[in-house]
């Protein structure tokens, strides 16, 4: 294994990620924290934690990318495509459900972005949707999939607007619906919203998922069901953007 070659930082809206990679793009060290408004301090903390040699080039992405002292800054769309391709080695459709937006990227050979679409100006169909509503139901993140798995009769949640869905869930609880069934219904609602961004999946196309929401197996299952295509999770899904940024700094 060759030594450290570049650093990738993904300063996202909910989490801050950083990776140290070698020349082949293998992750040597990683750092992940909830996003801190004192971004510069967080970046310094990340660099310390990665123990990168001084002068290692940095690539940055994410909403806070312009505040990172980096040789190269790129959008998450380009970085997720590059990062995902380096891990999967396959073109396909990449779905990144992030905290603030959801991106669907058509990834071509070599990890090039052929086309992309994003959710519109609201949090419907983003990670925030689940986060807000599950907080309302007092379900910790790590319990989500278990709750969904226990559902026997999912309750349809019709609102995809985060604010309206929150009040809809409150009324479902008041009606006596099981929390497990509501959780499953929420996943279906989010998957349906994401699937509408994906549109038609051409026959033979692979669908990949990256971003923090990909760690939730219930969401992967719901999206697979909605698209009628198996969805594969890119290894270390939360680090994919940072990895793409590191690869960009390498080149």
Positions touching other proteins (CB under 8 A) are 63, 74-78, 101, 112-118, 120-121
CB of 155 to other proteins, least distance (A): 31
CB of 173 to other proteins, least distance (A): 32
Residue 33: what are its φ and ψ, rounded to 5°? Answer: -145, 155
CB closer to other proteins out of 38 and 121: 121
CB of 186 to other proteins, least distance (A): 24
CB closer to other proteins out of 87 and 106: 106
Residue 227: what are its φ and ψ, rounded to 5°? Answer: -90, -10
CB closer to other proteins out of 39 and 74: 74
CB closer to other proteins out of 9 and 50: 9
CB of 122 to other proteins, least distance (A): 10
CB closer to other proteins out of 28 and 124: 124
CB of 121 to other proteins, least distance (A): 5
């Amino acid at each position: 294994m060759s030594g450290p070659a570049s650093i990738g930082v993904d300063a996202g809206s909910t989490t801050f990620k950083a990776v140290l990679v070698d020349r082949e793009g293998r992750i040597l060290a990683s750092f992940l924290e909830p996003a801190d408004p004192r971004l510069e301090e967080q970046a310094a903390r990340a660099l310390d934690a990665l123990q990168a040699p001084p002068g290692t080039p940095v690539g940055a992405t994410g909403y806070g990318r312009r505040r990172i002292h980096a040789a190269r800054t790129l959008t998450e769309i380009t970085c997720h495509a590059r990062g995902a391709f380096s891990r999967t080695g396959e073109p396909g459709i990449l779905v990144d459900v992030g905290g603030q937006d959801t991106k669907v990227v058509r990834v071509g050979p070599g990890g090039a972005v052929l086309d992309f679409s994003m959710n519109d100006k609201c949090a419907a169909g983003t990670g925030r949707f689940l986060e807000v509503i599950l907080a309302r139901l007092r379900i910790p993140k790590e319990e989500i999939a278990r709750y969904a798995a226990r559902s026997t009769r999912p309750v349809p949640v019709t609102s995809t607007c985060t604010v309206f869905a929150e009040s809809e869930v409150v009324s479902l609880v008041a009606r006596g619906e099981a929390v497990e069934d509501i959780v499953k219904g929420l996943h279906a609602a989010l998957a349906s919203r994401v699937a509408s961004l994906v549109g038609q999946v051409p026959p033979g196309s692979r669908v990949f998922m990256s971003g923090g929401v990909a760690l939730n197996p219930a969401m992967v299952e719901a999206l697979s069901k909605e698209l009628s295509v198996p969805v594969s999770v890119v290894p270390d899904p939360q680090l994919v953007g940072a990895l793409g940024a590191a690869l960009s700094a390498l080149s």
